[in-house]
Amino acid sequence: MSAQVATAPVVIIGAGCIGSAIAYHLGRLGIRGAVVLEKEPFAGAGSTSKAAGGVRAQFSSPINVRLSMLSIAHYARFAEEMGTGPVFFQVGYLFLLSDPACWASFQRQAEMQRGMGLDVRTLTAAQARELVPPLDVGDVLGATFCPQDGLVSPHEVTQGYVARARALGADFRFGCPAEGLELSGRRVTGVRTASGVIACAAVVNAAGPHAAGVARWAGVDLPVQPIRRHCFTTQRVAFAHERLPMVVDMGSGVYMHRESGGMLLGLANPEEPPGFDTSVNWDLLERVVEPAVHRVPALEAAEISGAWAGLYETTPDHNAVIGPPPEVEGLWLANGFSGHGVMHAPAVGQLVAEWIVDGRPSIDLHSLRLERFAEHEAPAEANVI
Ligand SMILES: Cc1cc2nc3c(=O)[nH]c(=O)nc-3n(C[C@H](O)[C@H](O)[C@H](O)COP(=O)(O)OP(=O)(O)OC[C@H]3O[C@@H](n4cnc5c(N)ncnc54)[C@H](O)[C@@H]3O)c2cc1C
């Protein structure tokens, strides 16, 4: 047992967009002195810094639609609430469908999303091209478009949360890894660091791709795997205007949006093995460029300007795990966002803080409980990119 050096009402492990948003919302609910441990020298150094910044509510699972709608409401007032510059640009998401079954499924989903109050439009291929003229829609059967979707700046968002959380009394400790958990029976009572134990009533696992290792300290088997994902960027292109929507071609899986006057291109590699490698695999470039040029022929002339790779924190059903694990008291999981963490951070920040402070979140998160995997009750999110 290590010497106790401090106490805190709550310790959050990880200062990415998720941990920072939770710290801010705890402060808003009156919790002073929450400690946020971050192993890196600054906030958002993990997956958050690698995100493409997409924010959308067009999901197949109602819980993801709900989380996104709550997040979008937060993002729409973020600059005013946090005192930052603009961070959210509602340019919309355009999904292109070229497979009959997929198109039928997107039309059904659009009905479900509209029923939840989302403004989702189903478009013909010609209407999609009116929205984004450089598209080749020769093989497109239809499209969906939601103008409330858009793009955020993950760095600005995280820094905004950190600054406001600090003003509300949170204590961010950078370069300070959590090294283990203290347990009394099945109750978590503190977090071990190199300088001793911080005793606390609640611990939040917000460790992103490292979440499974943190959960293991409490004997919890959390199926979150790190999977490398890439983004490639191009030099400036004439058609990349400020209102250009995010385009997702569900046929090939390639997605693209405006980035610094050029385009950001992404495509998941289905053969990527789990692991913590974040070096760029340039062999993937051709596999991304080919479907991107097929969809937007004008990209043929664009030069690649850069690339980076980061880690998705992936669960078997591509849905997050949020809430206390069974049989362990004092621990909250906010993990496994499977490519949706930045877009869900505001909602998760609010809901986890409510859960800790009020005893329950204001939105039912039952479908995101950890037990679903053991109960074999985990309908997967279909719209993963
Ligand atoms: C290429 C790419 C594109 C993406 N695009 C999008 C997108 O368009 N939209 C979207 O919503 N999401 C996107 N994502 C996913 C998104 O980046 C993540 O879901 C999100 O950043 C997760 O946030 P987090 O705070 O949980 O994790 P992280 O940002 O990884 O934060 C976790 C933090 O915990 C720290 N940590 C870990 N272990 C410890 C420890 N023991 N002690 C102290 N600190 C610890 C880490 O250093 C890290 O800073 C993308 C991801 C990638 C890789």
Distance in Å, CA 241 to ligand 1 centroid: 28
Query: 157 CB contacts (<8 Å, ≥6 apart)?
Result: 17, 75, 78, 87, 342, 345
Distance in Å, CA 80 to ligand 1 centroid: 25
Domain CATH for 274: 3.30.9.10
Domain extent, residue 300, equals 91-148+226-314
Q: Are residues 289 and 238 in the same domain?
A: yes
pLDDT 10s digit of each residue in the chain, 385 long?
Answer: 456 679 999 999 999 999 999 999 999 999 999 999 999 999 999 999 999 999 999 999 999 999 999 999 999 999 999 999 999 999 999 999 999 999 999 999 999 999 999 999 999 999 999 999 999 999 999 999 999 999 999 999 999 999 999 999 999 999 999 999 999 999 999 999 999 999 999 999 999 999 999 999 999 999 999 999 999 999 999 999 999 999 999 999 999 999 999 999 999 999 999 999 999 999 999 999 999 999 999 999 999 999 999 999 999 999 999 999 998 999 999 999 999 999 999 999 999 999 999 999 999 999 999 999 999 766 788 888 8
Q: Residue 184: exposed, middle, or buried by beta-carbon count in 10 A (0-12, 13-18, 19+)?
A: exposed
Q: Are residues 185 and 325 in the same domain?
A: yes
Q: Are residues 183 and 293 in the same domain?
A: no
Distance in Å, CA 359 to ligand 1 centroid: 26
Distance in Å, CA 375 to ligand 1 centroid: 27
Global pTM reads 0.97
Q: Strand 304-314 vs strand 262-266: parallel, antiparallel, or unpaired?
A: unpaired
Q: What is the pLDDT of residue 385?
A: 85
Task: Give the total residue count for the chain.
Answer: 385
Query: 215 CB contacts (<8 Å, ≥6 apart)?
Result: 205, 221, 222, 224, 325, 331, 333, 335
Q: What is the pLDDT of residue 379?
A: 79
Query: For residues 117 and 106, what is the distance between their CA atoms, to the nearest angstrom?
Result: 16
Query: For residues 349 and 70, what is the distance between their CA atoms, to the nearest angstrom?
Result: 11
44 DSSP 8-state letter:
T
Q: Are residues 130 and 231 in the same domain?
A: yes
Report how many domains make up the chain: 2
Distance in Å, CA 273 to ligand 1 centroid: 18
Q: Which of 174, 342, 343, 383 to mutate to test the pocket of ligand 1 (most atoms within 8 A of CB)?
A: 342
Enter the tokens of residue 328: 């362990």
For CA atoms 36, 29, 53, 312, give the dihedral sign: positive
Q: Are residues 234 and 281 in the same domain?
A: yes
Q: Is 358 inside any structural domain?
A: yes
The one-letter amino acid code at 223 reads P
Distance in Å, CA 361 to ligand 1 centroid: 22
**Would you call 228 helix, strand, or coil by DSSP?**
strand
Q: Is 85 inside any structural domain?
A: no
Q: Is 69 inside any structural domain?
A: no
Q: Which of 176, 160, 132, 168 minimizes the C-alpha distance to 296?
A: 132
Q: What is the pLDDT of residue 384?
A: 84
Q: Is 130 inside any structural domain?
A: yes
Domain CATH for 368: 3.50.50.60
Of 314, 340, 361, which marks where a domain is finished? 314
Ligand 1 atom having least distance to the Cα of 18 = 25
Q: What is the pLDDT of residue 3?
A: 64
First and final C-alpha spacing in the chain: 44
Which residues approach ligand 1 with their CB closer than 6 A? Answer: 13-19, 37-40, 45-48, 50-54, 177-178, 206-210, 214, 229, 231, 310-313, 337, 339-343
Ligand 1 atom having least distance to the Cα of 14 = 34
Q: Are residues 139 and 233 in the same domain?
A: yes
**Would you call 96 helix, strand, or coil by DSSP?**
strand
Q: What is the pLDDT of residue 260?
A: 92
For CA atoms 45, 50, 55, 57, give the dihedral sign: negative
Question: Which amino acid residue places its CA nearest to atom 15 of ligand 1?
Answer: 339
Q: Is 111 inside any structural domain?
A: yes
Of 314, 339, 355, which marks where a domain is finished? 314
Q: Are residues 329 and 207 in the same domain?
A: yes
Question: Which amino acid residue places its CA nearest to atom 49 of ligand 1?
Answer: 46
Number of H helices, E strands in the chain: 9, 19
Q: Is 180 inside any structural domain?
A: yes
Q: Are residues 292 and 231 in the same domain?
A: yes
Question: Which amino acid residue places its CA nearest to atom 52 of ligand 1?
Answer: 51
Q: Is 325 inside any structural domain?
A: yes
Q: Are residues 231 and 301 in the same domain?
A: yes
Q: Are residues 135 and 239 in the same domain?
A: yes
Q: Are residues 286 and 340 in the same domain?
A: no
Structural contact between residues 152 and 59, judged by C-beta atoms closer than 8 angstroms: no
The one-letter amino acid code at 328 reads V
Question: Which amino acid residue places its CA nearest to atom 25 of ligand 1?
Answer: 16
Distance in Å, CA 147 to ligand 1 centroid: 26
Q: Strand 35-38 vs strand 88-89: parallel, antiparallel, or unpaired?
A: unpaired
Q: Is 234 inside any structural domain?
A: yes
Q: Are residues 188 and 234 in the same domain?
A: no
Ligand 1 atom having least distance to the Cα of 339 = 15
Q: What is the pLDDT of residue 2?
A: 54
Q: Which of 32, 54, 24, 46 minimizes the C-alpha distance to 342?
A: 54
Question: Which amino acid residue places its CA nearest to atom 48 of ligand 1?
Answer: 46
Distance in Å, CA 290 to ligand 1 centroid: 28
Q: Tens of pLDDT along 275-334?
A: 999 999 999 999 999 999 999 999 999 999 999 999 999 999 999 999 999 989 999 999
Structural contact between residues 329 and 187, judged by C-beta atoms closer than 8 angstroms: yes
Q: What is the pLDDT of residue 376?
A: 75
356 DSSP 8-state letter:
H
Distance in Å, CA 253 to ligand 1 centroid: 21
Distance in Å, CA 209 to ligand 1 centroid: 7
Structural contact between residues 62 and 109, judged by C-beta atoms closer than 8 angstroms: no
Distance in Å, CA 349 to ligand 1 centroid: 14
Query: DSSP letters along 55-69, please?
Result: E----SSHHHHHHHH
Count of C-beta atoms within a 10 Å radius of residue 194: 10
Ligand 1 atom having least distance to the Cα of 43 = 49
Of 314, 335, 360, which marks where a domain is finished? 314
Q: What is the pLDDT of residue 284?
A: 96
Q: What is the pLDDT of residue 377?
A: 67
Q: Which of 25, 42, 47 to mutate to test the pocket of ligand 1 (most atoms within 8 A of CB)?
A: 47
